């Protein structure tokens, strides 16, 4: 692979990480503002616009299909998956706050699957990830 192609690929990977970070910051901002019920449609639109991944597609994925969806269709790498787990977990909390417990549970289950997948496949153990897994298991 030429240096130019490798550099271009690295830029794309970094850009995806930045987009995921911005999405997480956006969700945390909504949560902090306490206006979750007014923002659910906005959240769905943000998933579609910013991540090019409709929230409905995520919600419809079953079990381990979420990993295949994110690594196959969207080409996420492990560090992207970690952020996506955070995003799904935070989105689940916003849906819970808005009174949609079923969607909240679905999103938390997807986040748990992602974290468990990473814990099983990662070369290094992550205590932070284990805490996220424990917290999600307790909430389900």
| The pLDDT of residue 20 is above 80 | no
Domain residue limits at 119 = 3-139
* pLDDT in the model for residue 138: 95
Tens-place pLDDT, residues 79-123: 889 999 999 999 999 899 889 999 999 999 999 999 999 999 988
More confident residue, 22 or 54: 54
Is 0.95 surpassed by the pTM of this model? no
Per-residue pLDDT band at 38 (split at 50, 70, 90): low
Specify the number of domains making up the chain: 1
Reduced to 3 DSSP states, what percent helix, strand and coil does the chain have, rounded to the nearest 5? Answer: 85, 0, 15
pLDDT of res. 36: 52
pLDDT digits (tens, 9 = 90+) for 41-67: 888 888 888 888 999 999 999 988 999
């Amino acid at each position: 692979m030429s240096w130019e192609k490798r550099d271009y690929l690295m830029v794309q990977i970094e850009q995806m990480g930045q987009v995921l970070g911005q999405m997480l910051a956006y969700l945390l901002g909504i949560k902090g503002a306490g206006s979750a019920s007014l923002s659910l449609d906005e959240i769905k639109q943000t998933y579609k616009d910013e991540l090019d991944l409709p929230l409905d597609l995520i919600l419809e994925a079953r079990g381990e299909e979420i990993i295949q969806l994110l690594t196959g269709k969207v080409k996420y790498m492990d560090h992207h998956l970690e952020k996506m787990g955070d995003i799904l977990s935070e989105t689940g909390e916003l849906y819970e706050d808005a009174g949609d417990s079923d969607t909240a549970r679905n999103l938390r289950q997807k986040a748990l699957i992602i974290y468990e997948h990473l814990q099983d496949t990662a070369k290094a153990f992550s205590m932070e990830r284990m805490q996220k897994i424990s917290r999600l298991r307790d909430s389900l």
